[in-house]
A and B are shown apart, each in its own frame.
Chain A
Amino acid sequence: MTWLLIIGMGVVVFLNRYAFLEPRLPLRLSANARQFLGFAVPGMLTAICGPIIFMPAHTLNLQPLNPYLLGAVVAAALVRLTRNVMLSMLLSMLIFFVLRSVLS
């Protein structure tokens, strides 16, 4: 039963991933579709971050002193200033953990 579930889930997820990679699928992307999909990276990555930042422990937290929010703002500011992705990630993580221990 459990193995049936695991394999079933594997098939479902793989079909989601593979469906549009199949060249025999009769589909040509129009200029508009390509333009729309150009927003996929900022749109989807932001959607993944949203709940992590504003719903830590699955409850809504809209306080300005939320360490996840402050950490995200610091990361954005750092990458603007330094243009260094790796440095910004590491520094903002350090600042997040300091803020977290101070604010809680």
Chain B
Amino acid sequence: MLACLVQMPIPMPSIARHAFLQGAIAILPLSLAVAPWGLLAGSMAIAANLSAWEGQGLSAIVFAGAAQLVAIGMLKSGASLASILLTTLLLTSQHLLYGLSMRPALSPLPLRWRLGLGFLLTDEFFALTSRHDHQHFNRWYALGIGFTFYVAWNLFTWAGIVLGKSIPHLDQLGLDFSIVATFVALITPLVRNLPTLACVAVSLGASVLFSHWHWETALVSAGLLGMGTGFACQKLGRVV
């Protein structure tokens, strides 16, 4: 949708700023899509008797929606520090996979870029940056995506803290469909062959089944199983 802008000739000094802005624009829909979770992360922290600073600190330092919401819930039910940290480790383990997948593009960068983009590596960041292969990877575009998303996440958290419990049944308004709409629109054009179709089908079925079983590693297990299926289909297809 922004392809026409990418191909425009750009004078040298403004390339970085241009790429940064492109990233910021590309992530806008997803930044709005996380509004319900950001609001929830803020309001739940207050409801669990965390101070406003602690609630904001979670979003500013941890910056991982699912882990934050689960940690607040566990804190409320009196779970130990160690058990919350272990749950965080399992819940966010898909980031290991994102790191591995982006290793060719990110590991040759200077330390400050690796640390910065590493900190900003979320599901949404991965969804948008890994559409380009690592030769076409642009660090400023990636920074525009990550930074904009970070600011949006923290602003929505702040709004959740301020509004507190005055938003009734925020989690039941169906706002989470915006994530589905975005991801489906990103995945569908990728399904062009049998291996990818198999990957998506297995991942979908497994994610629902594992979540139904309350596995803490449901998402990453389902993702790995789907990826393995796609890979196996591709290998078999070559042999036959």
Measured CB to CB, the residues of A under 8 A from B are 1-10, 12-14, 16-23, 27, 29, 32, 34-37, 39-57, 60, 67-68, 71-72, 75-76, 78-80, 83-86, 88-89, 92-93, 96-97, 100
Contacts and interface: CB of A to CB of B under 8 A. Distances in A.
B118 A100 contact: no
Contacts of A56: 174
B98 A40 contact: yes
Give the interface size class of chain B.
35 or more
Contact of B181 (A8, A10, A93): A93
Contacts of B123: 44-45, 48
A55 B96 CA distance: 26
B13 to A, nearest CB: 28
A13 B207 contact: no
Contact of A47 (B95, B185, B186, B203): B203
Contacts of A23: 107-108
A35 B231 contact: yes
A5 B228 CA distance: 35
Contacts of A22: 107, 114
A65 B212 CA distance: 20
A50 B185 contact: no
Chain B interface helix/strand/loop/mixed: helix
Given A41-B130, A47-B219, A55-B211, A75 B185 contact: yes
Interface string B94-120: 111111111110111000001101110
Contacts, number: 264
A47 B216 CA distance: 13
Interface stretch (B4-12, B55-63, B152-160): B55-63
Interface stretch (B14-22, B136-144, B194-202): B194-202
The 6 closest A-B pairs by CB, nearest first: A50-B207, A20-B99, A10-B61, A43-B226, A39-B227, A18-B118
Contacts of B50: 2
B54 A79 contact: no
Nearest to B172: A57
Contacts of B108: 23
Interface in B130-187: 130-131, 172, 174, 176-187
